Amino acid sequence: MEKILVHSYKGGTGKTTVAVNIAFLLSLKNRVLLIENDFMMPSFFDIFDREPNAYFNDYLNESVNFDSIIEHAVKPNLDVVFTNNKFDPNEKVMSSDQEWFLSILKQMIADFNALEKNYDYIIFDTPPGWHLIVVNLIALSNKAILLLRPDSYEVNGTKIMLEILYKRAKPISSWEVYVLFNQVPEVEMNVDLENWAGELQKEGMKYVGSISCSCNIAYEMAHKTKIFPMEHEFSKALQRAMNIFLRTD
Ligand SMILES: Nc1ncnc2c1ncn2[C@@H]1O[C@H](COP(=O)(O)OP(=O)(O)O)[C@@H](O)[C@H]1O
Ligand SMILES: [Mg+2]
């Protein structure tokens, strides 16, 4: 089973769109569990149009077991865990310190190991930048896809995040961290992308390509198409990147 973290330094880079579409493309041939982790800005309730009885928040707050938060067969071969879109500042996941997050990690590792026989892939959608849940998810994952728009402060922010968050949470040699540019303007930017990719590769990340910024994509998403069919331009670009980080070619 592969456990893949989809993360970025900045918000709005396309994490949720990419995580949901990776999960959908993989579910065409594999058993997939997709887990939402953006407690401040949940979006799965809208994308999948469901209101579950229990959320990832409830599991992390130690009030329910993992099995009871899984929404089965949201799409064929695709199970989903939602976060609660009704903000509660008092719940532990909103208000706890590093010690509490570390204290729940052991249980999380045990529960995710128990899923080994049920799924081929687990995909984690995340909040941007530094959040203590990301430390736990780094510990659980064997791959990360870091998204970034082609902008120097996103490149430099990603390098800093790798240094102070990723490399401290887990030695980079013990897992794989990939970078994927998204929302790349449809003008010639190959030299910029190659230079930035080179800088990121020096830090130990692997470059897997880019997805164009497309007004069609933005238009379709505005009209509630959040999951694209296989032949869509977004899916094709994403599949090319997936072929590299999953080596399924
Ligand atoms: N390749 C793209 N072209 C055009 N718009 C995109 C592209 N990727 C993402 N978007 C848009 O960017 C916005 C943020 O995407 P989202 O997946 O919610 O990001 P995040 O989860 O990182 O905050 C959405 O409105 C989405 O439609
Ligand atoms: Mg998101």
What confidence score (pLDDT) does residue 147 get? 98
CATH number for the domain harbouring residue 58: 3.40.50.300
What confidence score (pLDDT) does residue 7 get? 98
From edge to edge, which strands make up the β-sheet containing 71-75? 71-75, 78-81, 32-35, 121-125, 2-8, 143-148, 176-184, 206-212
Protein residue with least CA distance to atom 9, ligand 1: 14
Domain span including residue 123: 2-246
CB of 232 closer than 6 A to ligand 1? no
What confidence score (pLDDT) does residue 8 get? 98
What confidence score (pLDDT) does residue 248 get? 58
Structural contact between residues 20 and 42, judged by C-beta atoms closer than 8 angstroms: no
CB of 182 closer than 6 A to ligand 1? yes
Q: How many domains does the chain have?
A: 1
As residues whose CB is below 5 A from the ion ligand 2, the structure lists 15-16, 38
Mean pLDDT by 10 residues, the chain (249 residues): 97 97 98 96 95 95 94 98 93 92 96 97 96 96 97 96 94 95 92 96 96 93 92 96 86
What confidence score (pLDDT) does residue 209 get? 95
Top mutation candidate among 5, 7, 17, 181 for ligand 1, by most atoms within 8 Å of CB: 17
CB of 17 closer than 6 A to ligand 1? yes
Top mutation candidate among 6, 20, 221, 233 for ligand 1, by most atoms within 8 Å of CB: 221
